[in-house]
Amino acid sequence: MLNLVLFGPPGAGKGTQSQKLIEKYNLVHLSTGDILRGEISNGTALGLEAKKLMDEGVLVPDEVVIGMISNKLDANKEANGFIFDGFPRTVAQAEALDNLLSSKGEAISGMIALEVEPVELEKRLLLRGKDSGRPDDQNPEIIKKRVEEYNSKTAQVAGYYKEQGKFTSVNGIGTIEDIFTIISKVVDTY
């Protein structure tokens, strides 16, 4: 099974490249935000627990998110693999994900990080903000904070996968197709 973690700061092109990877390799997209919303709308026990916490303004604990990911993995046993989007964001989450996958006889195949300079990210996000109307993509100060948060938190996660020999950095500047060709070459080595 091919299990990918696609990383990159906001505006690096994760969404675009994820979609292309899903199509080429027939993967199931696991976005923790989508999973949370799905569990809540389906009224599952984990979804109700998450909603209660979110309504109180509390972050949903890792074990609840891992439980939801476990449900999603079990519901897609015939999949060729999964692409993890927005998770793991911390080393503790990466360890929990490894433990979960190991319990199912699986593992992360690799982590691919799209690297893009902050100036380019800001340009891309401001452009995206004009098209999408997303307020968090229209304010340069918020963009800087999001990129700083990504850099401070995910550096450790990248180190975690580097130690396992599963980390690859890919330049996220170029045409969508050129970047996808490079990513595909990396994925084909898994």
How far is 60 from 58, CA to CA, in rounded Å? 6
pLDDT of residue 5: 94
Cα-based angle 4, 80, 185 (whole degrees, multiple of 5):
50
pLDDT by position in tens, the chain (length 190) = 999 999 888 888 888 899 999 999 999 998 877 787 788 888 888 888 888 877 777 777 888 889 889 988 999 989 999 999 878 988 999 999 999 999 999 999 999 999 998 888 888 888 888 887 766 677 788 778 878 878 887 778 999 999 999 999 999 999 999 999 999 999 999 9
Question: Count of residues for the chain?
Answer: 190
pLDDT of residue 38: 82
Peptide bond before residue 88 is cis, with ω within 30 degrees of 0: yes
3-state secondary structure 99-157: HHHHHCCCCCCEEEEEECCHHHHHHHHHHHHHHHCCHHHCCHHHHHHHHHHHHHHHHHH
- pTM of the predicted model as reported, rounded to 2 decimal places: 0.82
pLDDT of residue 94: 95
pLDDT of residue 186: 97
pLDDT of residue 166: 97
Q: What are phi and psi of 85, to 5 degrees?
A: -120, 120
pLDDT of residue 81: 95
